[in-house]
């Protein structure tokens, strides 16, 4: 499945570094999502963008900063992370029918495995 | 709010055994229900879905039936293979009448290990 791509696939960074994760969807969708998957914890929704507008911020620390320049691209900017931020970061996209509409099927990218030293 | 509860794993089976992974949910109205699968080192892939009561989703020999009366969406497969070893996630998305959180709510995942 190449509908949603993520780069890099693996990233190791120090706590003082600044890095960015990139997600690109080729499905013509209008909504994009960031999830965090930590060991032994359920998937945690971080951010939701619909029509390039952030519509959900699920109490995520400010050291994570999302950016959605257009409906096909989503970034997650990282700075001064902590070791507990080490996780698999998953991007997803869907065709959202509207503010009060049913959320449609989400398609996921392969994820970026982040390790914070 | 919405929630999804899955049976804890790991589930260990021999090849060709019958598989059931239980999933129950709590939600307002009539959500859509999904099963996603995550193979080692990969992201989540949609396995099957059902959008209304009594619908049966099926794919690659897996099936799940949307049971409104028991608020369940159990995953089944008649004969598992080693290649089915993965983590399986049950999820729901809110019904169109629900104007709150619109993203998917996931269960904690169930790891399946199939031995030759």
What pLDDT shows up at residue A98? Answer: 56
How would you class A113 by CB atoms within 10 Å of its CB: exposed for 0-12, middle for 13-18, buried for 19 or more? middle
Q: Which residues of B touch A51 (CB under 8 A)?
A: none
Low-confidence ranges of chain B (pLDDT < 50): 100
Which token pair is B109? 């995942």
Query: How distant is the Cα of A46 from the closest Cα of chain B, in angstroms?
Result: 10
Closest chain A residue to B30, measured at CA:
A102
Query: How distant is the Cα of B94 from the closest Cα of chain A, in angstroms?
Result: 6
What pLDDT shows up at residue B9? Answer: 85
What pLDDT shows up at residue B1? Answer: 79
Which parts of A38-104 are beta strand (E)?
Answer: 44-50, 53-57, 64-70, 73-79, 87-94
Cα(B88)–Cα(B35) distance, integer angstroms: 7
Cα(A5)–Cα(B50) distance, integer angstroms: 26
What pLDDT shows up at residue A103? Answer: 54
What pLDDT shows up at residue A102? Answer: 53
Pairing of strands A53-57, A44-50: antiparallel
Please list the residues that pair with B88 across neighbouring strands. Answer: B37, B110
Reading chain A (117 residues) residue by residue, the pLDDT tens digits are 479 999 999 999 998 889 999 999 999 998 899 999 998 777 888 998 887 777 777 789 999 999 999 999 999 999 999 999 999 999 999 887 555 455 568 899 999 999 999
Q: Which residues contact A41 (CB under 8 A, 6 or more apart)?
A: B108
Query: How many CB pairs below 8 A link A and B?
Result: 59
Cα(B101)–Cα(B103) distance, integer angstroms: 6
Q: What's A103's DSSP letter?
A: P
Q: Which residues of B touch A43 (CB under 8 A)?
A: 89, 106, 109
What pLDDT shows up at residue B97? Answer: 56
Cα(B90)–Cα(A75) distance, integer angstroms: 27
The dihedral formed by the CA atoms of B83, B14, B107 and B43, expressed in degrees to the nearest 10? -20
Residue A12 near residue A117, CB atoms below 8 Å: yes
Measured over the CA atoms of residue B87, residue A96, residue A2 and residue A7, the dihedral's sign is negative
Beta-carbon separation of A102 and B34 below 8 A: no
Query: How distant is the Cα of B78 from the closest Cα of chain A, in angstroms?
Result: 26
Beta-carbon separation of A102 and B95 below 8 A: yes
Which token pair is A81? 């992370």
Cα(A20)–Cα(A52) distance, integer angstroms: 18
Q: Which residues contact B55 (CB under 8 A, 6 or more apart)?
A: B65, B66
Those residues of chain B whose CB sits closer than 8 Å to some CB in chain A are 32, 34, 36, 42-46, 49, 89, 93-97, 99, 101-104, 106-109
What pLDDT shows up at residue B88? Answer: 97
The tens digit of pLDDT for each residue in A75-103 reads 999 999 999 999 999 999 988 755 545 55
Which token pair is A101? 């509409």
Average pLDDT score, chain A:
88
With b meaning 16 or more CB within 10 Å and e meaning fewer, what string describes B55-89? eebeeeebbbbbbeeebbbbbebeebeeebbbbbb
The tens digit of pLDDT for each residue in B71-97 reads 999 999 999 999 999 999 999 987 765
Q: Which residues of A touch B109 (CB under 8 A)?
A: 42-43
């Amino acid at each position: 499945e190449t509908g949603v791509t993520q780069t890099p696939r693996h990233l190791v960074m120090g706590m003082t570094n600044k890095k960015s994760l990139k997600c690109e969807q080729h499905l013509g969708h209008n909504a994009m999502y960031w999830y965090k998957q930590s060991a032994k914890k359920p998937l945690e929704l971080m951010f939701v963008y619909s029509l390039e507008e952030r519509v959900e911020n699920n109490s995520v620390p400010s050291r994570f900063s999302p950016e959605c320049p257009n409906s096909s691209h989503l970034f997650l900017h990282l700075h001064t992370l902590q070791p507990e931020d080490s996780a698999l970061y998953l991007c997803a996209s869907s065709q959202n029918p509207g503010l009060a509409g049913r959320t449609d099927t989400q398609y996921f990218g392969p994820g970026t495995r982040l390790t914070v030293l | 709010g919405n929630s999804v509860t899955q049976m804890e794993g790991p589930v260990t089976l021999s090849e060709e055994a019958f598989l059931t992974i239980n999933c129950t949910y709590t939600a307002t109205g009539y959500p859509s229900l999904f099963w996603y699968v995550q193979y080692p080192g990969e992201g989540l892939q949609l396995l099957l879905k059902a959008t209304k009561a009594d619908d049966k989703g099926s794919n690659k020999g897996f099936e799940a039936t949307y049971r409104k009366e028991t608020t369940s969406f159990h995953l089944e497969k008649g004969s598992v293979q080693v290649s089915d070893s993965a983590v399986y996630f049950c999820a729901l998305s809110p019904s169109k009448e629900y104007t709150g959180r619109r993203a998917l709510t996931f269960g904690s995942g169930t790891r399946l290990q199939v031995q030759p």
